[in-house]
Amino acid sequence: MSETNILLESGTNELEIVEFYLDEERENGDYRGFYGINVAKVLEIIQLPALTEMPEASHDAVLGAFNLRDEIIPLIDLAGWLKKSRVQTDEPKVIVTEFNRTKSAFLVSGVTRIHRINWNEIEAPSGYVSALTLNSITGVVKFTDRIIFILDMEKICMDLNPEAIPIEEPTEAIKQAIAQKEIKALVADDSTMARKMITGILEKAGIKVHPVENGELAWQYLMAIKRKSLERDIALQDYVDIVVSDIEMPVMDGHTLTRQIKEDPVLKAIPVVLCSSIITQTLRHKGVAVGANDQVSKADLGELVPIVHTLINKEAKD
C-alpha cells in the first residue's frame, strides 16, 4: 500500500492518509472516533489473524503476535493503548505498519478509505488538546461531517518499547569541535516526544537548539532571521548554522520546507538534514529531489550529531 505514496511528487506538501475508526463503548451509547495514518507507514491491511500469546508483554494493549510471511509481528490493540473500551465486532481490521525499520500491527474497528490531502489542511493540535490526549495526536483534519485525528504512532511504539531507538554518545573529539564553533540548529518536528529527543541529543553535544512544532513555524523563523541578517548586515550563520527537520508535519511538511530553503537565494546555503521515521531506501529520493544535504532515520539518531558536524565542517571549507 505504501507504494502509492511514492507517486506523490516531492515538495508539493501533499500526503495520503489511511482513515480508520475505533468504535468505543460509552455509558451513553457507542461512539465512533476517526483517525488517520500516513500511507507511507502502512504495509497492508488484513483481517484479524490467529495470535500467539507473548509472555510478559510490556503493556496490556499488546494482544500477542502473528506470523506474516515468516516475520513475527506484534499486535497492539489501539483502543486499549488509548485507554478506550473497544466495541467487540466480528470483523475488526489490522493495519500492518513499518517505520523506524520496525514492523508493528494495530487492531482497529474498521478502515474507511485513503485521502490525498495537503499538509496545510492538517491543523496542529492546540496545547489543550495535546495535553488531554497525552501528546499522542500530531494533527487534526476537519471534514464536513467528522474530525480525523492523526496519531503519533512513533510515540505509541516508543512508549511500548523505550529501547527501540538506541542513542550513542558522540565522541569527545566531535563534542570539542562543536564547542569551538558554537553551532546553532533549528529543529522542526511535530511530535513532542521526538522534538525533545532530538533537541536533547544535539544539546548534549553542545549545539544550541531552537525547536519549533512544524515546517511553517520553521519557515517563519528563517524568514525573520533572514530579514535581520540583511537589515543589520550580519552573517546568517550568526543566527542558524543548520536545519534538522522531520518530514511529516502539519501545515508544512519537511520536504516543502527543504525545497523552499534551497530555492531561496539567501537561505539556500544553510544545510538541511531530514530526520524522519519514514526515510527508507525506497523513499530517500524524495529528500534528494528537494535538495536535502543529508537524511537520517529516527531509528539511527546516534548518527545525527556526526552528520551535523560533517555538514558544518563542509560548509566552513566551501
pLDDT band (50, 70, 90) for residue 10: low
pLDDT band (50, 70, 90) for residue 222: very high
- Secondary structure class of 253 (helix, strand, coil): coil
| Domain span(s) for CATH 3.40.50.2300 in the chain | 172-317
Per DSSP, 149 falls in state: E
Class of domain 172-317: alpha beta
pLDDT band (50, 70, 90) for residue 158: confident
| Domain span(s) for CATH 2.40.50.180 in the chain | 3-160
Secondary element (H or E) of residue 159: helix 153-160
Residue among 96, 73, 101, 44 at smallest CA distance from 280: 101
What are the DSSP E strand ranges found in 7-163?
Answer: 14-24, 31-38, 42-47, 62-68, 71-77, 93-99, 102-108, 110-118, 122-123, 137-142, 147-151
Q: Tens digit of pLDDT for each residue in 165-194?
A: 666 677 777 777 777 778 999 999 999 889
pLDDT band (50, 70, 90) for residue 135: confident
pTM of model > 0.85? yes
- Secondary structure class of 169 (helix, strand, coil): coil
CATH topology of domain 3-160: OB fold (Dihydrolipoamide Acetyltransferase, E2P) (2.40.50)
Higher pLDDT, 226 or 156: 226
- Secondary structure class of 172 (helix, strand, coil): helix
Do 252 and 119 form a contact (C-beta atoms < 8 A)? yes
pLDDT band (50, 70, 90) for residue 259: very high
Q: How far apart are CA 305 and CA 205, in angstroms?
A: 7
pLDDT band (50, 70, 90) for residue 244: very high
